[in-house]
Each structure stands twice: as structure tokens, then as C-alpha cells.
Amino acid sequence: MRACADARRERSSVSLIAVSKTYEADDIVPVIAAGQHQFGENRVQEAKGKWPALLAARSSLMLHLIGPLQSNKAREAVALFDAIHSVDRPSICEALSKEIEKQRRKPLLFVQLNTGEEPQKAGIAPGDADDFIRRCRDGYGLDIAGVMCIPPVEDAPAPHFALTSKIAARNGLKLLSMGMSADFAIAIQFGATHVRVGSAIFGSRG
């Protein structure tokens, strides 16, 4: 990927998550055939409809939940997904912690940050992030691997990526889920380890 070379990053240090939300299995199969291994969905229910069959055919695939999670979907989410990018409140921590123990599955966990402090958006405010991450670990025994952000559409993304990276670093977190079709190259410059790219791969969602 050219964005990696431009940022002097190893290609292998950045995972490309192909965001297949709203696309049918028939659209996803050719992308798998082209060698793409990691996919993202933003709804548990939608993912449950199309992914079990696709996953059964290929053991190397990795499925990421990048959208909001309700506690009553934690069982299904832990069963289906290899990574969850939307850990953002104590009730989710509690539900995930129970299911991880019960199912003996350990999805990669990311705390979602609301770096723009937008009222309509999910995620933890930057000022609460350190406390929340500590609570995930000490209060719920969750092994948090990284942080995720979705910058406000009207803002330049760079300061949001820089802040996300700083919060990760001071909490000893190695993984950064940031960057979408419009801004993944900038995110990679700021250290993204997981970029979530939908429309640039699948085409615009009608």
C-alpha cells in the first residue's frame, strides 16, 4: 500500500479492514478471493446473517465489529467476532467479561473514543479515557488491546488521530483503529495499526 511507504511504515504493521456493511455475501466473496482476510461490520444482526457461511469456508478470515454493541448482543458478538472496536461503557464491559469467560474466546478489544466530544456519537470523552481504560482492566479484567476513533466529519482528522495515539501511548496500548476511506493515509502517518475502509473497496453504499 502506497500510504505505508509514504509514512515509512512497514506494510505488515497496518491491517486493512474491508468494511462490508450493507453489502451481500455475493459482493464479499470476490474480495475474499482477491486475498482480503480482515472484514468489518457495524451491526451484529446483519453480520450474523451473512458471515457464518463465509467464515466456515475459510479459516483464515478475521471479522471485526466496528459499530455499536448492546449488552444483550454480547453473547452473539463474542461468538462471531474476532475483534470488537466499540467498548464504550461499563455495561458492555460487564457483558463482554462474562461472555469471554463463558465462551473461552478472546476477541481483540478496542475502547472507542469520542475525540470530537460529539453528543450524537458513541465513545468515551478524551478526559475520561484513562479512567475508563483502567476500569476495563481492573474492574472487569478485560485485556484492552487498543483504542478506536471516528473523527467528526467536518474536522481535519489529524488532531483527532494525534490525540488517539497519545491516549493509547500513555495507557500502554499498542493498537490504533483509525482511518476510513477518506483519511486512512493520514491515519497511517499517525500510527494507525487498523484502518477501516469501506467505500474505497466496495464502492459507495447506495
Ligand X SMILES: *Cc1c(COP(=O)(O)O)cnc(C)c1O
The residues that touch ligand X, with contacts defined as CB under 6 A, are 19, 21, 42, 66-67, 150, 180-182, 196-200
- Give the phi and the psi of residue 89 in degrees, each rounded to 5: -160, 160
Least separation, in Å, of the C-beta of 150 and ligand X?
Answer: 5
Residue nearest ligand X, Cβ-based? 198
Least separation, in Å, of the C-beta of 42 and ligand X?
Answer: 4
Q: Which one, of 76, 78, 69, 67, lies nearest residue 17 by Cα?
A: 67
CB nearer ligand X, residue 48 or residue 98 = 48
Give first-to-last CA distance, the chain, whole Å: 27
Task: Count Cβ atoms below 10 Å from residue 84 Cβ, excluding itself.
Answer: 24
CB nearer ligand X, residue 19 or residue 142 = 19
CB nearer ligand X, residue 17 or residue 96 = 17
CB nearer ligand X, residue 118 or residue 137 = 118
CB nearer ligand X, residue 19 or residue 80 = 19
Q: Are 52 and 80 in contact (CB under 8 A)?
A: yes
Task: Count Cβ atoms below 10 Å from residue 166 Cβ, excluding itself.
Answer: 14
Cell matching residue 33:
478471493
With residue 179 as reference, give the H or E element that holds it. none
Least separation, in Å, of the C-beta of 55 and ligand X?
Answer: 20
Least separation, in Å, of the C-beta of 7 and ligand X?
Answer: 18
Least separation, in Å, of the C-beta of 117 and ligand X?
Answer: 17
Least separation, in Å, of the C-beta of 60 and ligand X?
Answer: 22
Q: Are 196 and 18 in contact (CB under 8 A)?
A: no
Burial of 96 (0-12, 13-18, 19+ CB in 10 A): buried
Cell matching residue 1:
500500500
CB nearer ligand X, residue 104 or residue 125 = 125
Task: Count Cβ atoms below 10 Å from residue 157 Cβ, excluding itself.
Answer: 23
